[in-house]
Structure formats: C-alpha cells, structure tokens
Structure 1
C-alpha cells in the first residue's frame, strides 16, 4: 500500500474543518444521542450475556475510537442488537472472558480488510438491497419499542413476536401513562420544529417529560441503576487452545461488524446528505473500536444505525457530535447516574419510534416498486428477511437474488444472431452463414448461443463475428470451442473474425483457436473473412467429393 493510501485511512485535520459552522448543533445532537444510547447500551450488554456494564463500556470506548478513526462523520458506533444475537452463543460456550479475545481478533481482521481496501465492495450492494435493509431496520427499531411501552416480554424474542406478545399481554389500564408519554414526546418532536427547528427537540422532550414524571410521581418504568465507573484497560490472557476455538466466532463477528457498519454508514450518507465517506477507513476504525472495547472489558461494536439516525436527525454534522455522544455517556457514568436513571423508558421509546418511522425511505421504496419487477422483489425480500430472520442474512440473500436477476438480464441482452451478407451478391453466399455474437458470452448465455449457432445441410462455411462481444468467461469460451469443434466435425469450415484483444488470451487457453481447422481461419476484418469463405466454397464446388467425416478438408 502506498503512503498516500495509508494516509487516507488515518485521521486528519480535514475531519474537523466544518466544526466551527456546526459546533452548536453537534453538541446538542451528541447530548441527545448520548441519552438515547444509554438504555440501548445497557440493554444490548445484558442481552449479549456480558452484562450492562460491558454494554455501557462499549458505547463509550468503541463510540469514541470509531468517531476519531472511522470513515464517517456522523456514524455512531456501539453495541447493537444484531451483534448481541451473535455473541450469546459465544458467551454460552466459552464464557464472558472469551468476548475480549473474540473482539480483538475481529478487530484485527477488520483492520486488515480496510488496509486491503475491501470496504469498497460495499459499492456493489444494489440500491434495492440498501433500501430494503434500511426499511427493515426501521421496522425492527419501531417494534423493539413496543414492549418498552406496554410491558416487558421474554428476553431473546424476535422483534415481531415480542411486539405481538406485548400487545396481547398488555395491561391497558397501566399502559395509559406510558402511552401518554409517547404521545407527548412525539407531539413535541413534530410541533416544536415548526416553531424553531434549531432546538434539540428530542432532548428537550425527554427533559420535559422526565421532570413532569418526577413532579407528578407517575407510575412509569425508568432506566434504573447504571455503573458508576469504567474498568482499567487490560489485555486478555491468550490461550492458544482458546484462539483456535473462537477463530470461527471472530470471523462471524468481523463479518457482521463490517456489513452492519458499512451499510449503516451508507444510510448515514443518505440521511445527512454528506457524501464524504471512506468505507476502507470505516473498517479500520471499527476494527480499532473492537480492539479498544475488548481491552476495556466491552463487547465487539458495530455502526449503530438507530443511534446514527438519531444523531443526524438531531442536527449532528461532524465528528464532534459522535465524540460528544461518548463523552456524555462517560459523564453520565461519573456525574449523572442518578438523574439519568429516572428517565422514563417510554420517553426514549417515543424518540426511537419517530426516528424509525423517519428512517423508512418511503419515496425510494415507491420509486423502486414502480421501476422493475425484479428490483421490487429484491427490496421486499430484503426487508422481510431483515425483519423476520436476520440482518446479515437479509443482505446476503438480497445481493444473491439481485445478482441472479442481473445475470438473467445480461443473458437476455446477450446472444447471437444470423446476419445477411451485406455486400455485392455472389453465388457462393448461399453456402455461407454469418453469426454475430454480441453482449456477454458467459455461463448464463452460453447454452442459448450453442443452440442458436447451427449450420443447415447446404452450408459449407460459418463465419463467427466477435467484434461486438463485450465480456467473455471460461464457460463461454469453452462453449465457443465446442461449437467450433461440432461444426468442423460436420464438415463445416469455421472462420472467426474480429476477436477483441482482451479476449484472445482466454480463447487461446481454452482451445477456441486450436479448434479451427487452420490457424489462417482467424481474421481481423470481415471483408477478408468473407473473401476467404467465398474462395473456400468455390474450391469445394470444383474439387472431388469431400473426404469422409473426421478427415481434414484442404483449404487455400
């Protein structure tokens, strides 16, 4: 890697060039997302099996490191629900202590991936997959808040099932106050910006509702007790046997962190309108965040799309907002654990509910649904799998299905057609067939080309014109070789014209050129190939009967 490329993966003063213009909104957004992130960090730490303290440590340490070293200006990193699901079996099999080793290994893998510039591969993710993933995440975030408002359900339940169980088992008399809090917070967040869009409305709504709940002594569930200090950073003891057993888990964690972080950062670009985003640096930053989190006793982190969306919607525009988010959480640990512990969970749920609704890209979804049937299928499938199954699998399935549709479309626009001979008429032309291959000759189109290239009984020469062939793979080249051999076995002479230079090496290595009866049957220009074909027909008509099938026919 060049020095310039390496410099692009490291922090620079340019990261903070816009801070003087946005510092007020950044500080307000950072404070807002810090408060919103607090209960999520605690909850995800508990659900992963590592404990509330581990979740909070991850939000502070990983959030700060990723903010400084990551590739996005507004991405908020920390513990997430998807990562918690992956970590549960690791804790069950190897214990909580193994999470530090897994996180550090995964972090090293992410840094290597960033240095190898693998983050650019996120550009290959189709638009319908991103839109479906974003919409699915929005639905999940909304559904996750339902039990916070109506009452808790069994831990580990999928969001759809949890929301349904919460609705079924809700004590509606007791739910009056939480629902009232949700209504007030949502109303404030919708109305206040109409009056003054510069106020940190979500933070203002949370403060007002919390004060009112304390003054009126309302029966509302609160955040509850939180840790009061950070642990001292230490490197875990490395057991070679443990390394071997957790290596597969570390690969899964690294893959999830990469996919979720890169997609979240892509979504953040759309939400903020700021196109400055370096996916390779994002991988390096997330890798460093996982390593730092492991050293402090936290869990592996990823970009958190819910908190990132809150940050953007609250006015965050530079890294200062994300750094502020971590510092707010750090201040909460040491200075404000008491007041913050009294925030009603319903107030936070309301903020996330409205954020989730705003996250769903309704305009993009309408556009995609009206575009093509295949894009609509990819969008809906990605969204459904995201909500009902798993985030990583949703992206994998969405990309796979989109690839199948894309290959089918390319195959349909690729093929072969028989062309008339556009030159002065010649009696020999009746015994010459010209086929022009266009588009892509690959595994998806090879069989159709094979079936289309045929020589009737009166044809002596077939000219295969390749000048419009754009792409060629090994399957396509092998099919071409088989077509040439089959025609030659039928006694038909094959001439090849206009092979693009980029395909010649592959056609030689696979055997297309060797399948020709004579190496002189390879031409650059069509007139030369046609003249040779006409001469061949004339000589064949004037010569004695053809040799038995399988023996070479002399040519000029």
Structure 2
C-alpha cells in the first residue's frame, strides 16, 4: 500500500527535523561560550573569588531560613551554581539559593518535612527545563515593571520577617505566614537571653553598612560573619550555631518519585518552577544592562536552570535560581564570561573540603543579620518613588502585588498583579478608541446635511465596540453614512463584528452605508467576520475619502430626483369622467 506522504510532506518533515536539531544544538554549551576567556580570565577569576566569598554567608543563611539546613544551601550554591554556569543562557549569571525560593520552600518543608525538598527540587527542575525546550523563555517579557517591583518588595519584607526568630534567639511560630510567625515568635521572647543574638545582628548590620564606605571592594557580609563568629567563640556566648557540616559533598542519589510523590508534590513543584523561571530570566535580563557581556538566551537559561535544580536535588540540595544580587556583584567585580560563575562554585567547594569546622561555629543570629541587611538593600527607595509617582494605575498594581506577596502567595501575587495591570492597560487602550462625526470636505453642496461621515480611530476591540455601536446608531435624518476605518490601530473580532452590526442596523433603516479605508492588515479579519457581506454592494467599499463622498452625494442627488418625480406624479390631476365635475372614480364592483 502506497504511503500518502508526498515529496512536499517529506521536505517539510526534513525541514522540521533540521529546525528541531538546530534548536537543541543552540541550547547546548559550546566553544562559543569561552571565546573571550583569553582576554578576560584574570578579571573572571577575581570576580569569581569575590562572588564566592559573598555567596558563602548567603548560601548558609538561605539554607537555614528555608528549613532545609545550612548544608542544603551550600550544596545548592556549589552544584547548581556550577551546572547553571555551564548550561545557562547568560554569560555572567550566578545561580544558587535565593530569598524568593526560601519564601516558597519554607512552607513546603514545614508541611512535608525535609525529605520532600529533593523531590520537589527535581520535579521543579524538570518543569523549568521542559519550558526551555518548548521555547517559553520570552514569556517573562509580558510581566509589567510595577509587578516585578511589587513582587521584589514583598519578597524583601518576607525575608526580613523570616529572620525575626533567629535574630531574637527563639523558635519560629507555627503559622506559614511570615508576618504571623514573626509575631508568634516575639511573644515567646525571654528578654534577658535575647540581648546576645540582638547584639550580634546589630554588629553584623553595622559592619555591612560601614565596609562599603571604607572601601567599595570590601566584602561586608563575610567580614561581618568572621568578626562576630570570632567574638562569639572567644566570649563563649550562649547563642545558637550552624552546627556540624559535611566535610565533602554527599554522593548523588535519585529521589524516590512515584505516583504518590507526583500527586503530592506536583502543585508545589509547579509553583517553584514558575518562580525559578521568572526570577532567573529577570536576573539574566538585568545582567545584560549592567555590562556589555552579550545578550542572554532565555530558552537556554531555562534549560540550564532546570538542569541545575535537578543536579541540586540529586545531591540533596534546594531549587536554584539566578541570583540578581550575586550576578550584580559578579559583573561589578569584573566578571565577563562563565569562568567567573564557575570559579565562584569552586571557591565554595573548597570551603566544604577545607573550612567546615570554622563555618559550623557561625551564630545563626549572624546569618539573620546578613539576610535582614540584604532584604533592606533589595528595595530601592528611588525605584519605589518612581513607581508610585508614575501613574495611578501603576501605583495600584505595585501596592497590590506587594501586599498579596506578603499576605498570601508569591505566584498568586504575580498572577493577580498581571491581571490588574492588564485591566488598567485595557482601560487605557479603550479610552484611546473613539468614533467622531466629521464635516464633509469643502466646498459644501446641497444635501450634505443628509450625509454622516464617521471616523473610527484608536482601538476597536471588545472593550470599546459596544460604545461605538451605540454612538453611530444614534444618527437620524440622514440618507448615507460613510465609515472611515483608516485610523483604526487595533481591531479584533469583536470590533469587526460590531462594524458589521452597525452596517446591518443602518441599512435596515434605509440608510446607505459606505466604508472607506480598510487597512490591508485588517482586510482578512473584516472579510472573515462578514463586514463586507453586509454592504449593499461591493461598490460601497472605497480606498479614498473623495470617491466615497462623491458617491454619497450622488446617492443624495438620485434620492432627491426620485422624490421630486414622485411629488410631481402625486400633484398631477387625474382625468375627469364625462358628465361629472370631480375627479374620475372607479365604480364599485357589482355584487352578484
């Protein structure tokens, strides 16, 4: 039996196969990633060491804050940081545990326990990687700026509130909401014992604030950690410490992912995946504006971040994302290629094998101080003022997103923020659309008062269509209506359908409708929706206004001529019947 596939089918299949392979090859790492290394390797190494020093306290702090432990944070920074640096789509992106991920992961650990972390990490990584393979990387460009800033503000508030228990040396509250849990923790504070952890937090914040003012390149977080750890150890202060850490990376193992795990953890994994994709792509986009290091590939970035989280899960780590703060440090320290991010991961790996003893003595309050300071620095007062001072709608979107982020859920906050922003955008777009009655071109002629010329402009879509229908349908005492469509910027199916309704309504009232200036990009839509079929004849579609007006005036002249003829016929006396003086009458039929 012969196959139904023609040579054309085979050609199309071959082209699709080549395009698929080209896409996969584009997502894979290659020599092109390291072409600039011979010129930039010194700066990359310095930047990598700097970022590694900055990332160490953050990795430990984020691990502790999430509930997964300092070990998980350190593993994530090493494994995910290395994999994302090699496979990601940005030349300068630095990946690892982040504050936003801690906010999402904390409730999951509280609900399902630490054993759930590798499972949701691998599942989320697979989802992010699939999104990259499906070319969904550019979807982040649809997130409005006020949503991003409101989301960032909300995350900063949550991170700060999550550190309250450690900062006061007490156990966190039972609530999954950071604000409620912080209040619950404060209610258990024993004030004589709270002085030491509070003093440590204050010392860390003071050092981190002062070091950039002494010298810009000084790593304030690591200096603060070293100083307070040495002081706490020498004075033998009664404060909680990180505790023992492994002296090597654990052996990789595949988490048990069966049917029960899928049904239980799929929803949390989707939330983590959405957050990882959004934060990573935003960070990569910010990095391109910090220095001339080349553009980023959004799809490849998702694939790389997905692989990074999968690898992290295999080693018992947390989900990873691109870290905006560490990426910025990398660029400002001279990082220009992937070598810098790779070096950062190797520096942290050296800490695991060489310095776990000293690291285990770091007070938890010191890590809380680092994160509190980091949370405050995440929010730029000038940016907040810019958003609030831009437009009322943008300010509302910003505030709503921030409140929902703190009160409910991060992904829900982004979704609602986008919906609110879309509502205001549609309202603004609707205001740009309108229908205007215009005077006919001069010189005027008799009968022009019976011709209505309407100009449709701006956006004619579902949000404005009904208003335009009402406006045009109100006309009275006219014989011809000309509808100008050349000024329409946006036209959807609803708008085209309303134009058809306008034509149909006016024609039913005996008003001849002429359409002028259908743009070529709208012609297919108005044809499919049936606008042209509602016209009395195809000759009522015009390309220029002069021809349409002349045709309308000819209609009026013909109507006037017909009216005069009818009036003359009605005025002529009928022939009289002989023998009568009145008009002739028709005799009534006889009834037989």
Q: Where on the TM-score scale, by shorter chain, does this alignment land: which range?
A: 0.7 to 0.9
1:220–1:240 Cα change, 3 Å: closer
Which of 38, 45, 52 is the matching residue for 2:60? 38
Which of 74, 81, 85 is the matching residue for 2:102? 81
Which of 369, 384, 402 is the matching residue for 2:421? 402
Shift of 1:540: 1.8
Residue 189, structure 1, aligned to residue 211, structure 2 = no
Residue 13, structure 1, aligned to residue 13, structure 2 = no
Shift of 1:299: 4.4
CA distance in 2, matches of 1:482, 1:59: 62
Which of 55, 75, 78 is the matching residue for 1:60? 78
Residue 148, structure 1, aligned to residue 170, structure 2 = no
Q: What count of residue pairs does the alignment treat as equivalent?
A: 540
Say which SS state the counterpart of residue 137 (structure 1) adopts. Answer: helix
CA distance in 2, matches of 1:106, 1:24: 33
Deviations 1:257-287 (A, max 9, x none): 2223333444566788978443322211111
Q: Which residue of 1 aligns with 2:522?
A: 503
Q: Which moved more, 1:220-229 or 1:272-281?
A: 272-281
Q: Which residue of 2 aligns with 1:70?
A: 88
1:374–1:150 Cα change, 3 Å: same
CA distance in 1, matches of 2:58, 2:561: 91
Shift of 1:9: 3.4
Which of 363, 368, 389 is the matching residue for 1:349? 368
Q: Which residue of 2 aligns with 1:383?
A: 402
CA distance in 1, matches of 2:286, 2:347: 24
Shift of 1:2: 7.2
Say which SS state the counterpart of residue 362 (structure 2) adopts. Answer: coil
Q: Which moved more, 1:4-13 or 1:168-177?
A: 4-13
Which of 138, 144, 155 is the matching residue for 1:137? 155
Deviations 1:135-154 (A, max 9, x none): 22222222222211113213
CA contact (8 A) 2:65 2:162 kept: no
Q: Which residue of 2 aligns with 1:470?
A: 489
- What are structure 2's unaligned runs of at least 5 residues? 1-18, 567-592
Q: Which residue of 1 aligns with 2:570?
A: none
1:247–1:57 Cα change, 3 Å: same
CA distance in 1, matches of 2:409, 2:401: 10
CA distance in 2, matches of 1:456, 1:545: 24
Deviations 1:509-539 (A, max 9, x none): 1111111111211111111111111111111
Deviations 1:469-522 (A, max 9, x none): 111111111111111111111111111000000111110111111111112111
CA contact (8 A) 1:111 1:285 kept: yes
CA contact (8 A) 1:185 1:351 kept: yes
CA distance in 2, matches of 1:55, 1:482: 63
Q: Which residue of 2 aligns with 1:27?
A: 49
Residue 201, structure 1, aligned to residue 220, structure 2 = yes
Query: What RMSD in Å do the two structures reach over aligned CA positions?
Result: 3.2
Say which SS state the counterpart of residue 425 (structure 1) adopts. Answer: coil
Shift of 1:292: 1.7
CA contact (8 A) 2:60 2:367 kept: no
Q: Which residue of 2 aligns with 1:365?
A: 384
Shift of 1:26: 3.0
Which of 530, 539, 543 is the matching residue for 2:562? 543
1:481–1:88 Cα change, 3 Å: farther
Say which SS state the counterpart of residue 478 (structure 2) adopts. Answer: coil
1:87–1:143 Cα change, 3 Å: closer
Shift of 1:323: 3.3
CA distance in 1, matches of 2:334, 2:241: 26
CA distance in 2, matches of 1:447, 1:539: 33
CA contact (8 A) 1:75 1:268 kept: no
Deviations 1:149-168 (A, max 9, x none): 11321355322122223333
1:376–1:111 Cα change, 3 Å: same
Deviations 1:58-111 (A, max 9, x none): 34322221222223423322372244157459947xx947954x5445434322
1:203–1:501 Cα change, 3 Å: same
Deviations 1:159-204 (A, max 9, x none): 2122223333322322222222222222222223222222222212
Deviations 1:310-358 (A, max 9, x none): 7778887764554344334433443322211101122222222222211
CA contact (8 A) 2:67 2:109 kept: no
Which of 305, 327, 331 is the matching residue for 2:346? 327
* Mapping 1:417-428, distance limit 5 Å: 417-428=436-447
CA distance in 2, matches of 1:204, 1:15: 32
Q: Which residue of 1 aligns with 2:430?
A: 411
CA distance in 2, matches of 1:207, 1:313: 23
Residue 262, structure 1, aligned to residue 281, structure 2 = yes
CA contact (8 A) 1:35 1:329 kept: no
Shift of 1:467: 0.6
Q: Which residue of 2 aligns with 1:226?
A: 245
Say which SS state the counterpart of residue 71 (structure 1) adopts. Answer: coil
Deviations 1:227-273 (A, max 9, x none): 34433334456656865776555544432322233334445667889
Q: Which residue of 2 aligns with 1:554?
A: none
Say which SS state the counterpart of residue 462 (structure 1) adopts. Answer: strand
CA distance in 2, matches of 1:167, 1:122: 38
Residue 437, structure 1, aligned to residue 456, structure 2 = yes
Bigger Rg over Cα: 2
CA contact (8 A) 1:115 1:284 kept: yes
CA contact (8 A) 2:165 2:182 kept: yes
Q: Which residue of 1 aligns with 2:196?
A: 177
- What are structure 1's unaligned runs of at least 5 residues? 548-556
